[in-house]
Structure 1
Amino acid sequence: MIHALLFDLDGTLLASDPLHAEAFIALFAEHGRTIDTAFYNARIHGRLNAEIFAEFFPDADGAAMAEAKEAAFRDLLGPSASPMPGLTALLDRADAQGWRTAVVTNAPRINAEFMLKAIGLADRFDTVVVSDECAAGKPDPAPYREALRRLDCAPRAARAFEDSPSGIRSAVAAGITTLGLRSSLPDIALRAAGAAASLADFTDPTLEPYLQRQSGADP
C-alpha cells in the first residue's frame, strides 16, 4: 500500500500566520477598516483571497488587493525563514520509509514556491497542489483529492497536517485522518473542525502513534 503525508503550508510547514495577519491588518487599514489578530483568526485564517475580498470589499478590485497583500507578506517573510520544528526530520523519515509527500495549500503558487524556498524545502515534496488550480479551494475536498490522485494513494493510507478549520474540513472530507497544528488555534478549535488530534509541532509525541498506524499497524 502506498503511504503519503500531506501538508498544508502556512502555519503548518512554517509559522507564517502572524505575518499574514500583519499584512491583512495593514491592507484593511489602507481601505478604512480596522481589524486585529483575533479578527484574522476568526474570519480570514485559512480562506481563499477571492472569498475574503469579495466578502469585505465587494466593490473593490479584489484581485489587485490580493496581489498587494501577498506581495506585502513576501516582504515580511524575507528570503529566509525556519521550518516548523521536527519537519525536516519527518521528511527524512518519509524518504526512508518510502512515503510520498505533498503540499496542499490555498496560497497562490508564487507564495507557495517563495515559502518553500525560504525554508529550504523547495525540492523535498513530490508535488505541490494549489487550490487556485483545482475545481475548488479548501474547505472543499478537491485539493486533497487531487493530491491523492497525483500520489496514487488511497485516503486511508494518508495523513494530513493542517492548522485551520477550513483546511481540516477539506482533508477530512477527502477521507484523510488529519492532525491539527496548534500554531494559531487551540486543540478544542482544531478538534471541533474534525482533527483526530492536535500537535504543538512535528516533535510532539502525539504524532508517533499516527505514524505507526501509517506504517501498517491497526488503526
Structure 2
Amino acid sequence: MTDRTRAETSLPARTTPIRGVVFDMDGLLLDSETLAMDALEEAARDLGHDMPLSFCRRMIGVPADGCRKLVREEYGADFPMERFFQLQEEHLRRYVDTGRLVLKEGVEPLLELLDELQLPRAIATSSSRYRAEHHLKLAGLDGRFDAVVTRDDVIRGKPDPEPYLKAAERIGVAPEDGLALEDSHSGALAAYAAGFRVVVVPDLLAPSEDVRGKAFAVVESLLHVRDWLRRVDM
C-alpha cells in the first residue's frame, strides 16, 4: 500500500515551552497500519467476505470496540465477528513476527533528542496492552517511554480524551504544557480535546479539514518535530 499522504505545512517557529511528549503508536511510531489493513483484508477473505481497503481504513486509530461497531453496521449481526478479529490478530502477529514491522522515519532521532533534553514521554494507543508491549519489544522501543497507556487502561478510547489525559497524568505533565503526536483523525481529536498541542504526521489517511483546523501543525515526518524541538525554547 503505497498511497501515503504527505503533509503540506511545517511547524511554527516558536511556541510556549514543551514539558512532555505523548505519542500515538500505530502509524506514528510503528509502520504497522499497512500490516493491520492487510490482516483485515486477509481475515475477511478467509471467511468468504470481501472487505475493501476503503472500509478497512475507516478503522484506523479506532479502538477495538469501535471497530466492531463499524463492522456490525456494515456486514450485519450474522457476521462472525469474534472469529474475524481472531484471524486478523493471527495474521497481524505473523506479519510482525516475520520481520515486517519497522519504525517510522525519525523515531530514533526524536527519542534521542528527548533523552538529551530529559523530557518525559508516554504512549497513548488504541491497541491492547498485549499488542502494544509485543510490538514495542520487537521494534526495540520497550523501555524508551515513561508510561504506556493502552485501550485496556481506559474506559473510553479515542476520540475520547481519556487516553491522553491519563498519559499526561502518568508523566506528570499538564496537557497544555505537552505536545501530542498523532497520525489518525480519532487520535488527533482525542489529543486536542484533552488540551494538547497536536502535531499530525499523516500515514495512510490525509487529515480532514476538521483535524487540520485543530492541529498545531501537520508535518511530513517526525524529523520535522525533532528539528523544531531543537529550536524552541524549552
TM-score, normalising length: structure 1: 0.86
Spell out, residue by residue over 1:96-131, the C-alpha distance to the aligned partner (whole angstroms, 9 max, x if none): 111001111001111111111121111100010002
Structure 1 residue aligned with 2:71, among 26, 44, 56?
56
One-letter identity of the residue aligned with 2:71 = F
1:110 alignment partner in structure 2:
130
Map 1:137-152 to 2 at 5 A. 137-152=157-172
Counterpart of 2:148 in 1: which secondary structure? strand
For CA contacts below 8 A with separation 6 or more, give which structure has more relative contact order. 2
Offset at residue 83 of structure 1 (A): 1.5
Deviation at 1:188, TM superposition (A): 5.2
1:45 and 2:60 matched? yes
- Report the CA distance between 1:40 and its aligned residue: 1.9
In structure 2, what is the equivalent of residue 202 of structure 1?
222
CA RMSD of aligned residues (A): 2.3
Q: Go from structure 1 to structure 2 and tell me whether the alpha carbon gap of 1:82 and 1:30 turns closer, same or farther (over 3 Å shift).
A: closer
Task: Give TM-score, length-normalised by structure 2.
Answer: 0.81
1:28-83 C-alpha deviation (Å, 9 max, x unpaired):
23334312322222x21111122222332344564454333222212112254332
CA–CA distance in structure 2, aligned partners of residues 55 and 187 of structure 1: 20
Give the conservation status (yes or no) of the 8 Å contact 2:22–2:179. Answer: yes
Q: How many residues align?
A: 213
Match of 1:95 in 2: 115
SS of the equivalent of 2:215 reads coil
- Residue in 1 that maps onto 2:190: 170
**In structure 1, distance between residues paired with 2:109 and 2:64:** 32
Change (3 A) 1:94 1:116: same
SS in 2 for 1:99: coil
Q: Which runs of 5+ in 2 are unaligned?
A: 1-16
Match of 1:10, SS? coil
